Amino acid sequence: MSFTGPSMASGGRTVRRTFEFGRTYVVRPKGKHQATVVWLHGLGDNGSSWSQLLETLPLRNIKWICPTAPTQPVTVFGGFPSTAWFDVSELSEAAADDIEGLDATAAHVANLLSTEPADIKLGVGGFSMGAATALYSGICFALGKYANGDPYSANLSGVLGLSGWLPCSKLGYFPLFLHLFSHLFISFGT
């Protein structure tokens, strides 16, 4: 699936980023379908490796959707192409966030969840960069909109982040996110 980001005027010309998402892997529930979770991999990984791991978990009633991030130049890697949900310019709190990439991925997550039955609980989770993206999707849900102002359509029941970080933390959304969203699990460490 591809997603074209919003136009950006730059010196009188229009610049558009297109996000070509890779293959999506689905692990069907082995029992009664009660929840669907979109699981986002880390930088440089793909949905296949996580779908294989999630297949082994004794969580019989969960459907796992494991998309693969677009392959794009990653600034922190000197522009080397890698699967990434968004661009990372540097590893510091002062680094600028790639809002366009985050919005595109959050929209992709919402789209993946849009065809799920109404009586199914919906969640998003991830590892490392995928966790950061999942937390950002949770913020979009809590605020009801993406950073670009468009409405966020998925009705999330939970967010799970393993070994990640919170993008856009400088904007101060996290306390609001915690206040509005009670089904949140974040873990970091051994």
Which tens digits make up the pLDDT trace of 42-98? 999 999 999 999 999 999 999 999 999 999 999 999 999 999 999 998 877 777 889
Whole-number Å distance between alpha carbons of 46 and 59: 21
Per DSSP, the residues of 10-40 read ETTEEE--EEE----EEE--SS---EEEEEE
Helix (H) or strand (E) segment spanning residue 63: strand 62-66
pLDDT band at 176 (very low <50, low <70, confident <90, very high): low
- Please tell me what DSSP assigns to residue 143: H
Half-sphere exposure of 86 (CA within 13 A, CB side): 28
- The whole model's pTM is what? 0.87
Q: Decide: 38 and 109 in contact? Cβ < 8 Å.
A: yes
Q: Encoding tokens for residue 161?
A: 């982040």
Residue whose token pair is 């998925």: 154
- DSSP code of 6? P
Per-chain mean pLDDT for the chain: 87
Tens of pLDDT along 12-38? 444 567 899 999 999 999 999 999 999
> Hey, is 164 helix, strand or coil?
coil
Identify the structural domains of the chain with CATH numbers, from first to last.
17-187 (3.40.50.1820)
Contact 75, 103 (CB under 8 A): no
Helix ranges restricted to H, the chain: 47-55, 99-113, 129-143, 174-180
Look at strands 80-83 and 71-74 and give their pairing. antiparallel
